[in-house]
Structure 1
Amino acid sequence: MTDDQTFLSVRGLSVRFRTEDGPVQAVENLSFDLTRGTTLGIVGESGSGKSVTSLSVLGLHDPARTTVEGSIMLDGTELVGASEAVLRGLRGRRMAMVFQDALTALSPYYSVGEQIAETYRRHTGGGRSRSRARAVELLGRVGIPSPERRVDDYPHQFSGGMRQRVMIAMALTCDPELLIADEPTTALDVTVQAQILELLAGLQAEFGTSIVLITHDLGVIAGCADDVLVMYAGRCVEHGPVEEVLTRPQHPYTAGLLRSVPRIRSDVDQPLLPVPGNPPSLLGGLPPGCSFRPRCDSPGLVGSGACGTERPELSGPDGHRAACHLTREQRGALTDLLPLTEI
């Protein structure tokens, strides 16, 4: 159920790739809503389906080898099955994406100013002088020093943090209402990460942008997101308000992610506790039962025999839901397994 404030609504999204080795079910039956002006954080290990989901929203999968099912509504417009002309009209103007690894996402053959200006010309029909002025304006807005001079520089002439700012500037060219940021702080220094996140928060406050923030860093989620969606093996295993999920997790996988976060305290000796094992292969589909069962290591919290035979569905009160066969009391005990310090 959506309301007037819901800008992005995803229902029953499933994405399957055709490969030489067989079908890969990358995302299965995923649903969530994003309210205007808020941030949804999506977390999970590599291969859990985070980026596949974001690319589905923008319609960037190759239709020759990808099957996308379900519904993706952007302010009332259905994106699944939409024509390329409709998607091109929405990309850049109403929805945009900050891709992983800005160095490979930016073309090395064109200056950063040309790449920003091209987006502006395509969507607004503005002339070259106006497009260049817009590029300079955006570079200044995202904190690039001397934008009038740097607009003619090439991506390799920028540091990693500055290239990430260029990517954000390009995504903001037409002031989109939806911004998807896919690992925007990966491989950046901590101080630069803070600057990038502060920039995104400031832009959201100024323009009321809805943001989907994809990251491995739970600290980033804790500081930036309103709601968080935890993905595992292509499915949502927990979803709810960020404070609820990070302080009272209802799924053993979420608790495992929280236990694996490094903490530095001289008065508490807490070893790093990684989630054991590896994520399952998505090739050919998952076996029956809970996909996290082989890695579940919550002491004394083993669920019923249904863990090995029935796929758990999302359930829980007050908008905080988890896909787990543990009882409500057992889920509550997961909090006792968390470290003593906060993220």
Structure 2
Amino acid sequence: MTSTDQQPFLSVRDLKVHFSTEDGIVKAVDGLSFDLLKGKTLGIVGESGSGKSVTNLAILGLHDRDRTAIEGEILLDDKELLTASEKQLEKLRGNKMSMIFQDALASLSPYHTIGKQIAETYRKHTGASKSASRARAIEMLKRVGIPQPETRVDDYPHQFSGGMRQRAMIAMALVCDPELLIADEPTTALDVTVQAQIMDLLKDLQKEFGTAIIFITHDLGVIADIADDVLVMYGGRCVERGTKREVLKNPQHPYTLGLLSSMPSLDHPVDVPLNPIPGSPPSLLNPPSGCRFHPRCTFADKVEGGLCSKEQPLLEITDGRGSACHLTADQRGEYFSDLAGSAAN
């Protein structure tokens, strides 16, 4: 996913995030690696509980360190984040890296105006005056398409619509021109029209600021619209990586195939039923042996010797492309050949 002549702005290596609970150890992320270049968007996709949000909270240093065991390496512009102090992370959060959360209403304080919350973020990291910070808040509200920003800057979150609150969250996340933006399913609760507007806004702002973006979603349709590269997660692990077109047009893992097959498409007749993935995501307290997807995989019986239930498949990455699956290339070509890659169009 990275070219040989560019150094990744963000590099994650063998990341493990385990939580201690009364029932045992939850292996929420279990050996994840990826790179992200400046000005590019990495889409991380997977069902709820796959480890997407846990990964990005680890990047931001937002896990409770008393309850969470984190191993591996996270380099942001060659600075190690896992060993950074809370004071060092506070300087980075909102400044060099920032996050847009899924639920803007829950993330914004109901007791302070939208403008004050944006201005305080800017003032904290830049030391600007109150008047300059307010002017910056108005500028950002205008930039994200809020009408009459000079007036709306003094409104409270409940006075904004859902789409406008999400725009305000984006304004707050970008007010200090961060070099890394993490968007955690920012369009899930919005209607399709507003969703499209938010996606266009993020792409326009990325062009303007050159921001590296991690976009978390369970929706491959959204991935097709915004991502440059795709990382598919299942059970706390990466099962497939590649460019958007490679993954959506030519999936190499049965889980990715299942996600695509269960997605509605305008190209398919309305009377053709969707093919949902059978079963449920694995328990991360007691995950299955071998490939964590094998209990739900329709191709597990195609692999000789019951290997899928015995051995964890290796994720072999060549030129940014790879999948963790025991099926051979010939088997994947035979079994996956009927998939229509309309999502990549």
Counterparts in 2 of 1:334 and 1:198: CA distance versus 1, 3 Å: farther
Verify the 8 A CA contact 1:98 1:171 in the aligned structure 2: yes
* CA distance 1:74–1:3, shift in 2 (3 Å): farther
TM-score calculated relative to the size of structure 2: 0.95
Q: Which residue does the alignment assign to 1:222?
A: 224
Structure 2 residue 105 is the aligned partner of structure 1 residue 113? no
Matches within 5 A, 1:96-111: 96-111=98-113
Q: What's the counterpart of residue 295 of structure 2?
A: 294
Note if 1:176 corresponds to 2:182.
no
Name 1:95's counterpart in structure 2.
97
Aligned to 1:320: 321
Counterpart residue identity of residue 311, structure 1:
Q
SS of aligned partner of 1:313: coil
Say if 2:249 and 2:341, in contact at 8 Å, map to a contact too: no
SS of the residue aligned with 2:337? helix
**Structure 1 CA distance, aligned partners of 2:306 and 2:144?**
53
CA distance in 1 between counterparts of 2:333 and 2:299 reads 12
Name the SS for the 1:314 alignment partner. coil
Q: Does 1:213 align with 2:215?
A: yes
Aligned pair 1:159/2:170, yes or no?
no
After TM superposition, the structure 1 = structure 2 runs for residues 172-321 of structure 1, keeping only pairs within 5 Å, are 172-265=174-267, 267=269, 269-283=271-285, 285-298=286-299, 301-302=302-303, 304-315=305-316, 317-321=318-322
Residues 270 and 339 in structure 1, CA contact (< 8 A), matched pair in contact too? no
Report the CA distance between 1:89 and its aligned residue.
Answer: 1.1
1:332 equivalent to 2:336? Answer no
Identity %: 66
Give, in angstroms, the shift of residue 19 of structure 1: 1.2
Change (3 A) 1:136 1:314: same
SS in 2 for 1:312: coil
CA contact (8 A) 2:248 2:343 kept: no
What is the Cα-based RMSD across aligned positions, in Å? 1.7
CA shift at 1:302, angstroms?
A: 4.2
- Provide closer, same or farther for how the CA distance between residues 43 and 266 of structure 1 changes in structure 2, counting only shifts above 3 A: closer
Instruction: Check 1:194–1:312 CA distance in 2 against 1; reply closer, same or farther (3 A cut).
Output: same
After TM superposition, give the deviation of residue 266 of structure 1 in Å.
7.1
- Report the Cα distance in structure 1 between the residues aligned to 2:244 and 2:335, rounded to whole angstroms: 16
Contact 1:38 1:209 in 2 (8 A): yes
8 Å contact from structure 2 (residues 300, 308) kept in 1 = no
* 3-state SS of paired residue (1:336): coil
Structure 1: segments with no counterpart, 5+ residues? none
Q: What code does the residue aligned with 1:160 have? A: G
Gaps of at least 5 residues in structure 2 are none
Q: Kindly tell me: are residues 39 and 265 of structure 1, through their superposed partners in 2, closer, same or farther at Cα, counting changes over 3 Å? A: closer
Number of equivalenced pairs: 342
Against the structure 1 CA distance between its residues 80 and 262, is the aligned structure 2 distance closer, same or farther, given a 3 Å change threshold? same
Q: Deviations over 1:166-192 (max 9, x none)?
A: 110000010000000000110111111
Contact in 2 for aligned 1:304/1:325 (Cα 8 Å): no
Deviates more, 1:45-54 or 1:260-269: 260-269
Q: Distance in 2 between matches of 1:318 and 1:121?
A: 42
Q: Residue 266 and residue 330 in structure 1: after superposition, are their counterparts in 2 closer, same or farther (change >3 A)? A: closer
**Relative to 1, partners in 2 of residues 1:166 and 1:185: Cα closer, same or farther, differing over 3 Å?**
same
Kindly provide the amino acid, as one letter, of the partner of residue 16 in structure 1.
Answer: H
Moved more, 1-10 or 184-193: 1-10
After superposition, the C-alpha distances for 1:29-75 in whole angstroms (9 at most, x for unaligned) are 00000011100000000000000001000000011111110000000
